[in-house]
Amino acid sequence: MNKPISIAIDGPSGAGKSTIAKTLAKKLGFIYIDTGAMYRAVGLYVLRRGVEPTDLAGVEPLLADIDISIAYEDGTQKVFLNNEDVSDKIRTPQISKYASDVSAHVPVRLKLVELQRGLANSKSVIMDGRDIGTYVLPDAQLKIFLTASGEERAKRRYLELTQKGAVCSLEEIARDMAQRDENDSKRAFAPLKAADDSIVLDSTTLTQDEVVEKILELYNFKCED
């Protein structure tokens, strides 16, 4: 069997990582791994237990009771929290905030990184997150740091949420997003940051197809024999 290939896609929220990574995974026949969903599942558990997500002393003892796993249904990643499918329940603004807060705790990260590395061990993967190129998979054959202007990212997230029927304002989304990016970039351990050997792609003025095309070109150049 050929050695598995890893592609890391990192970047701030709303840059389009998950849509792009899903499309690429389909085209290349790789497994797509959404690591943010794992932090979200931990955030949901912490919320249900009534613990403050910023409180390490409150969060750490809960970790032993949390089992996160992923499975695929028709190629779509499903996330399970203690065997409960929470894939839809983790997509709320409150869980976005909880996920960002719990993700700053080292014990939370170490638990999830072990799971993420295990998944990439035996299969070719496209993994998206914040620290995949810098920390989780430092030997990934291709590392992309996908970004876009704050305004564009907020607009995209606004459209995504309102299309699903959510009632929200663009200003509110832009503010929450900026706060979360600041949290994720400023944490001490494995913060959101471009790896030195990553390729930075600014998607502000690009369509999704154009971004996918660019990454495929880079993949063919760097990873194909």
List residues binding ligand DC (CB under 6 A).
Answer: 13, 35-36, 39-40, 96, 99-100, 103, 129-132, 180, 184
What is the nearest approach in angstroms of ligand DC to the Cβ of residue 129?
Answer: 2
Instruction: Give the three-class secondary structure for 167.
Output: coil
Of 178 and 220, which CB lies nearer to ligand DC in the complex structure? 178
Structure tokens at 224: 């194909």
Q: CB of residue 55 vs ligand DC: minimum separation in angstroms?
A: 17
Retrieve residue 30's tokens: 């790789």
Is the CB of 51 or the CB of 132 nearer to ligand DC? 132
| Choice between 99 and 212, CB closer to ligand DC | 99
The Cα-based distances of 209 to 11, 14, 60, 212, 213 in angstroms read 18, 16, 41, 5, 6
88 three-state secondary structure: coil
Q: Residue 123 or residue 217: which is nearer to ligand DC going by CB? A: 123
CB of 10 to ligand DC, least distance (A): 7
Contacts of 103 (CB under 8 A, 6+ apart): 39, 42, 109, 130, 184, 187
Comparing CB distances to ligand DC, the nearer of 99 and 195 is 99
As given in the structure block, the two tokens for residue 89 are: 């329940």
Closest approach, Cβ 21 to ligand DC, in A, equals: 10
Instruction: Give the position of tokens 């701030």.
Output: 12
| The three-state (H, E, C) secondary structure of 102-143, written as one string | HCCCHHHHHHHHHHHHHHHHHCCEEEEECCHHHHHCCCCCEE
Provide the minimum distance between the beta carbon of 157 and ligand DC in the complex, in angstroms, as a whole number: 10
